[in-house]
Structure 1
Amino acid sequence: MIWLTWRQLRTQATAVIAALAALAALLATTGPHLAGLHTTAGHGLVQQLSPTDTTLYFVGGVTILLAPALIGMFWGAPLVSRELETGTHSLAWNQGVTRTRWLVTKLTLTGLTAVAATALISLAVTWWSSPIDQAVAAGGSDNTDNFVPRIDPAIFSARGIVPLGYAAFAFALGVLFGIVIRRTLPAMAATLATYTAALLTMPMWIREHLAPATTVTVPFTHDRMANYLLDSVSHIDIGKPDVWVTAEQTLDATGHPAHAMPPAYTDCESIKSCIDALAKAGYHQRVTYQAADNFWPLQRAETGVFLGLAVGLGVLCVWWTRTRLLKGSVQ
């Protein structure tokens, strides 16, 4: 059964290995130069990046984000649906192989291969990008060049170990849709839509609660104001370039949420006078953020969430195959 599963997987596996080899060669060639540049430039590295380095930085991040989705669509969804569409599953079950063993073997071998491939890609991209991430964390980005700290949602999912959890989840999700829908193309579409929804839901509503957040209250000063509107303050600089700000709220002089800005602020004629108006009125900004030290706790927690979901989906795949799929066939 293992040999048969490998024969069915070898085409996809060969293509992935070739792509991995090409990516690894490219990163290995340019990575030492980037590390050396960081040694000499320090936090000024971002301003000295070549167009090639910048392109590789963003391409690497996009590759990590796309890999689990592609695995779910092209490895997970067809794994069983293709067998159901062609009817070859019945032949396998009548050769002394139970449907449970058949599915578990496919899930285990293909799933582990998918996770291993994603781990190698993530390891390579994380290693190559580490000098840039260190420079950004030290304040080397001016927030206009699209380089953000690694704990920021824009790049967090393309670093560390969390892509492994995504790959396992996307693969198991694809297999489940393939079993339930029994048609490959609709299963691929459902996998992509559901995985994308999960990927967006995590940073928007869940991730910030996976590790203790820090809340500070800071006064309004000229060097802290990053963005303001006539009726509110949308962002203030807390002097920590390597954090992920999850919430901000303007407080009045009593320490309560401000329902209106002071009159002097709404009538101010310059940025300086606006800031002075807020400071004189005793207004402060309450900022909640995830500190840089929470990067790995968040990585471990989120990976655990998606690995747990993957295991649950795998169990559901086995249950559905045993009890719902072609009920009455050989067990």
Structure 2
Amino acid sequence: MTTMTNAQASPVTTAPARRGPRLSGINWLVWRQHRAAFWTIIGCTILAAGWMVYQRGQLMDALHALGWPHPTSDDWDMKVSNSALTQAGYGLGFIPILIGVFVGAPLIAGDLENGTAKLVTSQSVSRVRWIATKLAITVLVVAVGTAVLAGVFSWFWSPVRDHENFISWVSGTGFDNSGPMLTALTLFTLVGGVAIGMVLRRSLLAMVVTFGFAVAVQIIWSYFRLDLGNSVTLTTNKGVLDSSPTLPNAAYELDRWFTTASGKLYGWSTCVTEPEAKVKGCLDQKGIVGWRVDYLPYSEMSSMQWFGASILLALTAALTAFIFFWGRKRIV
């Protein structure tokens, strides 16, 4: 009788092959090269979103204690702390600058500086594919992260968004960090940093210049924000001293004038230097019969944000086209 060996008796078993999406080739190389930055973005997104979710719960507890959504007191909004909401808004406002400086500027400039670009493009990878892969993966990570943060912040802010005692909806703290605006601003500074880095070819110098660029974008954008909406004009001819136009809830006043029966406008400070007893006579002498007020209604917020985001995304697309044009000619 013959006996079977252990090898014959036991069939050879192999570990099941892993299935699922896996990065390979140039995609794997780009992810591995910048994995520290990508995981930092993902981790900070999770932590910040979790903190805002917790703070939103605290805010709702405070509001419900005051009878929200139908508070019993008129000054209920003065009894609720807005510190966490303000901190969230200010913190998110730094994201476009940080992403532009620490992710965008060195993304390609670092490879140009240390020679990695020449090594990669000397292989089977074309310049265009290398640039496209770097931009695509980075833009995807940044876009998803900022979209999540903007969505959570919008949800956090939504119960009190139409009350100026918290955050004004036309301020950069609120307007630029909710809806599509945070993503659009961040992508613009990110791609701007990449373009600056490609031109300067030095990481540190590119980061310094990108910082100035990102700050300038924030400042310039603040001057054009109110021009994104369609203003509404409210007039009254019921006098000046005893009446004043009543604006809709959460409306933002742009300007105010005195008006005559013929429609002529005077600045709101007209006759302000006159003694109180002579103010009415001064107004009557000029024929002033009422007020005119230009304002932005709260209902304009969403359309203003999408219009502003479309402008920024168009500028981002133009910078992207420049990056590919420059990369095909002068990348190495």
TM range (shorter): 0.7 to 0.9
Aligned-partner Cα distance in 2 for 1:259–1:127? 40
For the 8 Å contact 2:233–2:295, the answer to whether it is kept is yes
Indicate the residue corresponding to 1:49 in structure 2.
Answer: 80
Q: From the two aligned structures, give the one with the greater helix fraction.
A: 1
2:240 maps to 1:245: no
For the 8 Å contact 1:243–1:290, the answer to whether it is kept is yes
For the 8 Å contact 1:148–1:155, the answer to whether it is kept is yes
2:160 match: secondary structure = helix
For the 8 Å contact 1:150–1:159, the answer to whether it is kept is no
Deviation at 1:49, TM superposition (A): 1.9
Q: CA RMSD in A?
A: 2.6
Indicate the residue corresponding to 1:12 in structure 2.
Answer: 37
For the 8 Å contact 1:27–1:128, the answer to whether it is kept is yes
Of residues 125, 148, 171 in structure 1, which corresponds to 2:153?
125
Indicate the residue corresponding to 2:133 in structure 1.
Answer: 105
Percent identity over the alignment is 25
Unaligned runs of 5+ in 2: 1-25
Of residues 35, 38, 42 in structure 1, which corresponds to 2:60?
35
Deviation at 1:290, TM superposition (A): 1.7
Q: TM-score when scaled to structure 1?
A: 0.80
Of residues 144, 162, 175 in structure 2, which corresponds to 1:116?
144
Matched to 1:11, the amino acid is A
Alignment map for 1:125-274 (pairs within 5 Å): 125-134=153-162, 136=163, 141=165, 147-205=166-224, 207-218=225-236, 220-221=240-241, 224=244, 238-258=246-266, 265-269=272-276, 274=279
2:256 match: secondary structure = strand
For the 8 Å contact 2:101–2:210, the answer to whether it is kept is yes
Deviation at 1:170, TM superposition (A): 0.8
Matched to 1:321, the amino acid is G
Aligned-partner Cα distance in 2 for 1:319–1:202? 27
Q: TM-score when scaled to structure 2?
A: 0.80
Q: Evaluate the alpha carbon distance shift between residue 244 and residue 187 of structure 1 in structure 2; reply closer, same or farther with a 3 A threshold.
A: farther
Indicate the residue corresponding to 1:234 in structure 2.
Answer: none
Matched to 2:122, the amino acid is N
Q: Which has the larger radius of gyration?
A: 2
Indicate the residue corresponding to 1:230 in structure 2.
Answer: none
Alignment map for 1:296-315 (pairs within 5 Å): 296-315=302-321
Q: Evaluate the alpha carbon distance shift between residue 201 and residue 287 of structure 1 in structure 2; reply closer, same or farther with a 3 A threshold.
A: farther
For the 8 Å contact 1:220–1:279, the answer to whether it is kept is no
